[in-house]
Structure 1
Amino acid sequence: MILVNGEAAQAISALDRGLAYGDGVFRTLRTRDGQPLWWADQAAKLAADCAALQLACPDADLLRAEVARVAEAGEGMVKLIVTRGVGARGYAPPAGQATTRIVLAAPLPAHARADAGDAIVVRWCSLRLARQPRLAGIKHLNRLENVLARAEWDDPAIFEGLLCDEGGAVIGGTMSNVAWIKDGALFTPELDACGVAGVARARLLRAAARHGIPARIGRWHPDAILAADEVMVCNSLIGVRRVARLGDATWAAAGWTTLLNEALHEDQD
């Protein structure tokens, strides 16, 4: 089922600004038995991203009810999209325009299922992310950089591609945030100029703090990852996954990914 502004539908207006300009935001949720996981965090992040783009955020209770209406039985995923709505031609945001909200469900992808394995292979992408502080951290609808980066490979053995910015600093994956452990501390890139600050990343940092693991957020180049004791990627569908190989570099399991993945799920609200 797909809901558009609360009604079952398969289409939106051709004049919707989400289609014309990527003028909107989205969230991808994992669901279980019709309920979204980590809802408090997901709703808060959606509200923050809407505020950053000066969009009216739909009511969280309304959205949660609509998620429950469309969610698949057992494990699944739901995507929430909020656009600035139908507007006249031109970039200027229409005053007082009602937003469009879209809630759609899909089966949990194979790479996010429990039997998907606990170690992955990743690669470096050649595309470099542009720096735009006004959009940094926001999961907005303009994801062309991610689309082009993901088009760089078609090898099914490669799970994810890692992206750097135009200055060569590591930012994250095409669909995930990246983190690594070095000498007992958790490292993850600063996302104040580009990249998406995902809910799983925020929860990972909180989980590390609860378990007394120091966290370091900053700008690092690929050599920092290559020197890590353990490397991982995370998002709301896959949780935390251990990187076994990146190019010619390989890592054996050191236990950190297992610990942090379990900690990530301690609070299911």
Structure 2
Amino acid sequence: MSWVDGQPLGGVSVHDRALAYGDGLFETMRVIAGRPRLFERHLARLQAGCERLGIVIEPHAVSQEILAFSRELDDGVAKLIITRGEGLRGYAPAPAAVARRILLGSPVPLYPSEHRAGVTLFPCRTRLAEQPALAGLKHLNRLEQVLARSEWSDASYAEGLMQDMSGRVIEGVFSNVFLAKSGRLITPSLERCGVAGVMRAELIERAGQAGIPVAAEDVWLEQLLSADEVFLCNSLYGIWPVTELGAHRWPHGPLTRKLQALISDLSSSA
């Protein structure tokens, strides 16, 4: 199932700047019973990203299109790609470029159910470049993640851990990272690089509402390894406890279990 600019089975021009330069953004939304989960957070991140990149969209029209697509999809994953549109050769955006909307529907990934009890992380060698102008955005330039994911083929690793060029822990290849220490919840700062996930934002808010101290700050590998608990989050699978990274082990601890319970409603069709 796919739509381009609101039309089923539409095509994309070879002159689209997404193809030449990765000039655009995307959102990946879990759809249950025709409704996209964390929809307002997805829209807010998309709009903020478009504003930062100078891509003009009509938020209400985009919102209505996503909702219509989700109703038709009913259950699955809806991926929205916003490109700057067509342009001539060269980096400079064409002043008259019109943003393009691409919607792709797919089945829900079949992640092993045991991942909810604990996963093993692969220590990626690929580092994330520091670019504050793009930090937090879910832009189309994902070659760092492609390189990182190509580092392992062993299915015993559910995810890979990524650091920046200075060695700070930033995120997973397709997840955000949290650690717990002495009852306090910490997630890496994303001021230099990384994707500000919608589930990450949801967990920060819900943890605060539940009285759990939570902060976004620089995290170094030594700090991660000395944590009481570590977990990953993503809008499609929720929370995966990390129980192993190299020689280090963590429990599927009480704070991680509590947070899994706090977001249980996001996997319900009610």
For the 8 Å contact 2:35–2:71, the answer to whether it is kept is no
Which residue in 2 is equivalent to 1:122?
Answer: 121
For the 8 Å contact 1:121–1:157, the answer to whether it is kept is yes
Distance in 1 of aligned mates of 2:18 and 2:264: 32
Distance in 2 of aligned mates of 1:163 and 1:61: 32
Which residue in 2 is equivalent to 1:241?
Answer: 240
Say whether residues 1:23 and 2:19 are aligned partners: no
* Identity value in percent: 42
For the 8 Å contact 2:82–2:100, the answer to whether it is kept is yes
Alignment TM-score, normalising by the size of structure 2: 0.93
Aligned residue type for 1:53: L
Aligned residue type for 1:249: H
Distance in 2 of aligned mates of 1:215 and 1:116: 24
1:102-135 C-alpha deviation (Å, 9 max, x unpaired): 0111000011x76754311112100111100000
Aligned residue type for 1:64: I
Say whether residues 1:41 and 2:41 are aligned partners: yes
* Paired residues for 1:1-269 under 5 Å: 1-9=1-9, 11-58=11-58, 59-71=61-73, 73-74=74-75, 76-111=76-111, 117-265=116-264
Aligned residue type for 1:237: L
Task: Give the deviation of 1:262 after TM superposition.
Answer: 2.5
3-state SS of paired residue (2:163): strand
Task: Give the deviation of 1:11 after TM superposition.
Answer: 3.5
Alignment TM-score, normalising by the size of structure 1: 0.93
3-state SS of paired residue (1:153): coil
For the 8 Å contact 2:37–2:266, the answer to whether it is kept is no
Task: Give the deviation of 1:70 after TM superposition.
Answer: 4.4
Q: Which runs of 5+ in 1 are unaligned?
A: none
1:207-255 C-alpha deviation (Å, 9 max, x unpaired): 1101111112111211111111110001110111101111111112222
Task: Give the deviation of 1:157 after TM superposition.
Answer: 1.1
For the 8 Å contact 1:70–1:105, the answer to whether it is kept is no
3-state SS of paired residue (2:157): coil
Aligned residue type for 1:89: R
Task: Give the deviation of 1:66 after TM superposition.
Answer: 3.6
Shift of the 114–62 alpha-carbon distance from structure 1 to 2, 3 Å rule, reads farther
1:58-84 C-alpha deviation (Å, 9 max, x unpaired): 43432333432542x44x111010000
3-state SS of paired residue (1:48): helix
